[in-house]
Structure formats: structure tokens, C-alpha cells
Chain A
Amino acid sequence: MQGYNFAYLDEQTKRMIRRAVLKAVAIPGHQVPFASREMPLPYGWGTGGIQLTAALIGPDDVLKVIDQGADDTTNAVSIRSFFARVAGVRTTTRTTEASLIQTRHRIPETPLRADQIIIYQVPMPDPLYRLEPSRPVARRLHAMVDYGAMHVKLYEDITRFGRVAVSYDHPVMVNQRYLMSPSPIPAFDNPKLHRSPALQLFGAGREKRIYAVPPFTSVVSLDFEDHEFNPQRAPQTCALCGSTTSYLDEMVIDDQGGRMFACSDTDFCEQQRQAQHDHAA
């Protein structure tokens, strides 16, 4: 795009972000501060993820962008067209074809590979923020591995509600060292973080933090021996592909309380239907 550098960001900004990314990879789960820039999209729309993608992407990449698991949600469309415009890269909706996947709120159902990188958009990088809003204090707690308050909070949930009442952004321990926000993915997706072959990068633009989970790294959702981590999924079947294992969106289809359930991961759903079609033919 005329007047702008390849992938929008200037080279100095990219170097600053790249240095932060390498330190994030070396210290799995630790939030590295960076001089986040104002982007042409508002804070909250994925500026952290966009800056990471901009610092990583090259002409050989194939980019997939999803929001709520879907490629055709408006914000995903907008971010994908931004990169098609400023970097001229190929984009795809197929998880298997992508080298870079930028996501908001989901991890694709199709398992990722070691040659793929997934970039999460993160609103609140510090998992302690609800318990300790002061960032300098929270940073000290991370330094001292003092996560007692989080365990107490989860345990209070169990005594009050009989189960952990966190249904998304469920905190995880990374490499047995750092408590980390997995971003607001449903707890259903948390197990996919554990020992994923793909490099996982997390960007929080407004909060100016970058963190990472290297491939094959231990990521354990916080739980208790007597109350094991037990993520919820709508117990229905996808009305389009018949999947009984994928994460489902619930849609209201009439004013009589009628509901329809369908895969949140639109690419996964399409591949399932394609496979059934091929099998039938």
C-alpha cells in the first residue's frame, strides 16, 4: 500500500516487537511489556494480535483470521482484508492451509502443526487483574509465584456453586511457572493449549503486553484434585455437519424458543460436510 511500509508497521517498531517476542518465547507465560502503537483499528479490536501478525508476516505466509471461530465474522473479515491490503499476502479460511492464524476467542478444532503459528488477541493479559487491579503489585506476585489468591477464588466458587464458575478465560499454569490468561477462549478450548506443536503467541495492544507458549509446552488449567477441570460444551449435535465433539454456537431460530446448534469453527464444519459428501459419492 502506497505511503506505508510492508505490513503497515515501520521497521523500528517491528524490531521492537520482534525482540519482545523472542524474550516471550524464552520465558513461557511471562508477560513482556512492549511499546504498543496506535493502529488504524481501535484498541479492543485486536491491536495486539494485529501488531504481532504485522511483525511476523512475510510474502510466503498464508494468513487465516477468525473471530468466534468463524472466518466470516465482520471483525475477522476486516483484519484479513487489512493484511491483504498492507502486505499483499495470500489469505485462506482453511486451517490446514494457513501458516499464520490470528484468532479472537477460539482455537480451531483441527489440530495445529509445528509449522504453524497461532496469534491470540488478548484484552486482559494479566490473569490476576480481577483479584489485584494494580499491575505493579500483580507483577510482584508473578515474580514470587504467589498465586494463592487465585486458588482461593476458584475454591470459593466450588464451595458456593459446587463447581468452578469460570467458563472462559480460565487461568492456566505454563511450564509449571507462570499463571497465564489463555485469552477469552471458552474453557472447552483450554486442553488444546497443552503441548500444542504450534508456537502460540499472545498480544495485548491496549495493555501493551506480549507473551508466548512455545511448542510442546505444558499448559495446565487450574483445578483441584476433588474438582477436576471440567469444561462445558452444549451437549447437542451440530445441525449442519452432525459433529458431537466440536464447540457449538446456539442460535435462536424463532420466537417459540426454537434453537439450532452449529459448529462455531466454520472451517471445521465445512470440512466435515465435504468429507461426508465425498464419502457418499
Chain B
Amino acid sequence: MAYVAVKGGEVAIGAAHAWLARVRRGDPSLPQIDAVQIEAQLGRAVDRVMAEGALYDRHLAALAILQAQGDLIEAAFLLRAYRTTLPRLIDTEPVDTGAMRLHRRISAIFKDLPGGQRLGPTTDYTHRLLDFERPEPEPVITTIARTASPAPRATDLLGAEALLEPDPSGTGEPADLTMAALGFPAGRDLRLQTLARGDEGFLLALGYSTQRGYGNTHPFVGELRVGEVAVAITPPELGFAIEIGDITLTECQMVNQFAGSKAVPPQFTRGYGLCFGHADRRAIAMALVDRSMRAEDLGEDVKAPAQNAEFVLSHCDNVEATGFVEHLKLPHHVDFQSALETIRAMRRDAEASDARL
């Protein structure tokens, strides 16, 4: 057992943790919530924590939400701090969202399209009236319709006519911001990775700002789809891909009207959003911001905050942001003392020079 210097602070921290545990549990006469219930009934919170925690594990996300008393940023932080300790065993093959088993698929640019429009489990047309008397749940009918007819991406239909730019995605190994400090200029691979784990509120506000004139991108939702995709790996000893499971993703393909620039002829351009779980808001906002950050590549003026990739990427991580904003509550009395003495000295100087006048 190591010798540890102990002081009063340790007692205070211990007491704070004990109080926190009591508050977290709440009224002990009420039944305790289980992570399994959170996983099953607070699915949208689980989705957000998985996205911002950058780890697809519904159960761990639910556990983190429970431990964080429902503070979703704190839950994402718990997941990140766990994720960073995990060994990297293998990279998966790219997932094919074209082969997604769809729960939901809507296109805002076509009235109808091959594979059809499908609402899925959306709140889009619910009336936001609080259910004071929560009705007995209807018997659950699980018909996750395996798509009868193929549902090609709406953007692929447009692309066939060459009115939509080809997918500007790169070909090499994608960069990874968790393995090297983010540098600038950042490629689109890094930008998308950063947005995919970025704070939903920040992405939402920035996306919104582009719609209000701060870097308009003339967006149309080409397609929004939610469903399950297979995740596959190719073990080197096998040499062929095997599926290891399914994950639920939301994908938004934004189609942006573009008048052309010196560098690029008039055409539709793309913005892309992809995230864990069912998260329309996050995917659409991400697609808006992605397209906005392509301004420089497309020869547009970079004026608005959402077009400034360094600004967006440096501030969208809520684990970083919450740490630095909240750290202001830590003791700063040494610096404050120094500022105090400087101000006192400046006032003495000023009084002395007033007296001389």
C-alpha cells in the first residue's frame, strides 16, 4: 500500500460523492430505474449519447445515462473516457447505407420514388400535447418491414442525370482524429468524423444559422433514411468479409442548389450527415454544416461562422467544451490575486499622477 498524503480536501470530496450517490438514487421508496429500461424506453437519449460518446453500445450508453442522472453530455463523457481505453482490434469495412434495412425513408425532393416514402416511427406528425393520462400501450406490432422493393438513394437517381456533383468522397485511408491532433486544413473525412461526434445543440444552431443567411446553402433534403446496416470485418487470416452485427444509423443526403463559381459549373452539390441511432435533427444539421464547410473547396466566399471549418471543428466537441467552460469554477485565486495587485498598482499610479496635476 502506497503512502498517500491526506488532507482535508479528501474528506470533502468523499462527502460530496456520498451525497451525490444519494441524490442520484432519489426517493428510496420509489423503485430504482434499471439501465435496461433506459435502453428500451429512452432510445433517443441512448442514440444521442452513443453519437457524442463515439461508441455504438446501447447498453453502455444506457448505463452512462443512469450514472449521469440523465445529463447526456456527462453520459457522453463517461462513454468517451471508457472508449479511449479499449484496444483497437480491426477496422470494419465501410457500411453500405444503400443496402440499409429501412425503418424510415423520406425524400423532400420527389413526390414518390422507387422504394417509396416511409414515415417509420416518427414524431413528425404527432400533436405535442402532454399525455396527462398515459394510455395503456397498444399491443406492440413489430413489423420492421424488410424492403420489398429496392430503395436506391434519391441522390443516386439525381446523379444519373449528372445534375448532381459526383460524390466528392476520398479514396485513401480515412484520417482519424482520435489518433492525431486535429490539424488544418482538415479533409472532409476528418470534418465528417468530427461532426458525427459533435454536440447536437451546436450543430443544430450552426445549421440553423446557414438558413438565416449566415452562409446560405440552398438546401433540399434529398433523402433521410433510418434503418439497420450490417457491419463487416475482414480478418486477415480469412481474407474475406464476415458480418459481425447490425447497427442503426440515420443518414441525410442534402442536395444544395449551386449557381456555380469560377471553379465549378452550376449543379447541385452535396451535404452529408450520418449518425448512430435514430436522429433526424442531428443528421440534417450535420449535412447543412458539412455543405457549409465545403465553401472554400467550391470557390465560395468564406464569411459565415458555419463556413469556417476551423471554427466549427474546434468548438463542436461538447466533452471538450463542457470541460473548459466548467473549469472556471475551479480555484483561480492565485491569478485573481495577481490581477487584484495589478489593478491596485494601476490605481495607485493614477492617483499619484492626479495628485501631481
Contact = CB atoms under 8 A, between A and B. Distances in A.
B254 to A, nearest CB: 27
B357 interface: no
Interface residues of A, number: 67
A186 B77 contact: no
Interface stretch (B259-267, B271-279, B332-340): B332-340
26 contacts: A35-B178, A37-B84, A38-B83, A38-B84, A42-B323, A43-B322, A43-B327, A44-B330, A72-B9, A74-B9, A74-B13, A77-B13, A88-B2, A90-B2, A90-B3, A91-B4, A91-B5, A123-B324, A134-B310, A162-B353, A167-B342, A168-B339, A184-B332, A188-B338, A232-B342, A248-B337
Contacts of B326: 42, 44
A10 interface: yes
Given A44-B326, A134-B310, A208-B181, 15 more contacts: A10-B85, A33-B180, A33-B183, A40-B81, A44-B323, A72-B8, A73-B9, A77-B13, A104-B330, A136-B310, A162-B350, A232-B341, A232-B345, A233-B341, A247-B337
Interface in B283-338: 310, 314, 319-320, 322-327, 330-335, 337-338
B181 A165 contact: no
A80 B4 contact: yes
A234 B179 contact: no
A38 B319 contact: yes
B319 to A, nearest CB: 6
A43 B324 contact: yes
A192 interface: no
Contacts, number: 161
Q: How large is the interface on B (under 10, 10 to 19, 20 to 34, 35 or more residues)?
A: 35 or more
A163 B85 contact: no
B204 interface: no
B7 A77 contact: yes
Judged by DSSP, the binding face of B is helix
B63 interface: no
Contacts of A38: 77, 80-81, 83-84, 319
B338 A168 contact: yes
Interface string B1-25: 0111101111011000000000000
A104 B349 CA distance: 31
A69 interface: yes
B338 A167 contact: yes
B197 to A, nearest CB: 11
Nearest to A134: B310
B346 interface: yes
B2 A84 contact: yes
Contacts of A106: 334
A47 B323 CA distance: 10
Interface string B80-102: 11011101000000000000000
Contacts of A40: 81
Contacts of B180: 33, 35
A186 B2 contact: no
A14 B179 CA distance: 13
Contacts of B310: 134-136
A72 B3 CA distance: 16
B233 interface: no
A187 interface: yes
B182 interface: yes
